Amino acid sequence: MGLPKIDLPIFETKLISTGRKKVKYRPFTVKEEKILLIAQESDDIDQVLLGIKQIISNCCTSVDPDELPMFDIEYLLMQIRGKSVNNIIEFQITDPETDAPVMLELDIDEIKIVKPKGHNREISITEDTRLIMKYPKLDQVSIFVDTERDETENIFDVMLSCIDSVVEGDTVYTLDDFSREEVVEFVESFSTQTVEDIKKFFETMPVLKCEKEYVNANGDTKKVVLEGVETFFI
């Protein structure tokens, strides 16, 4: 006779990107906790991203982590962590004024979804032509943090990968249907204003953010802003 099967509770939440699609998830087990610890201890961003992907795949149903925007991934990680352990995350920062360590507590419920004004996925190129942008996904995060590559090259590659389609009048062109050379030639023809509008798209994407106040060793009240995937691997 085999060992008894452990039934885990199932929870449900909605993805930020749609506000409608429901995702069922369970707390992580010892198996996922081991993955989390390995990711925490790794200095390799690819290892961290692989750990994130495994946890989302194991704990969530009906979602593909490769297809989710990064802020959806962060949100799901936050929900899973809250149901697996508790809502409180203890972590240490270094105060920039005194260089002294400061212990802080972060309540997951304090993390808010920030949606900056002026954010738009549609970017006009000409009077009749516009871009439809898509949000960066998990595998594209490594492009952002790859310090061995030129920053301009990183930005260009992310720009290429996040253009979903081009609309000209009633015609829709999906960039996946074209070669990289064709897409590069197209993007290199953008005006400076179009590039600035694309940068604004990235700068104003929805983000999970939390601001924490603390008192440093000098008795001064300071504030630290937490956001991004590293927040959930403290």
Q: Model confidence over 118-160: pLDDT tens digits? A: 899 999 999 999 999 999 888 776 665 555 656 667 778 888 8
Q: Give the per-residue pLDDT at 234.
A: 46
CA distance 72 to 207: 9
Token reading at 203: 């700068």
Is 135:70 a contact under the CB 8 Å cutoff?
yes
Is 84:47 a contact under the CB 8 Å cutoff?
no
Token reading at 13: 């939440």
CA dihedral angle for residue 83, residue 28, residue 19, residue 198, rounded to 10 degrees = 120
Ordered by start, the domain boundaries in the chain are 11-114+207-233, 122-203
- Provide the CB-side half-sphere exposure for 13 (13 A, CA): 18
Is 95:217 a contact under the CB 8 Å cutoff?
yes
What is the DSSP code string of 28-49?
A: --HHHHHHHHHHHH---HHHHH
Is 10:26 a contact under the CB 8 Å cutoff?
yes
CA distance 19 to 135: 15
Residue 207 sits at φ, ψ, to 5 deg, of: -145, 145
Is 45:141 a contact under the CB 8 Å cutoff?
yes
CA distance 202 to 195: 11
- Can you give the pTM of this predicted structure? 0.79
Nearest to 69 by CA among 156, 161, 146: 161
Report residues of the chain scoring pLDDT below 70: 1, 141-152, 228-234
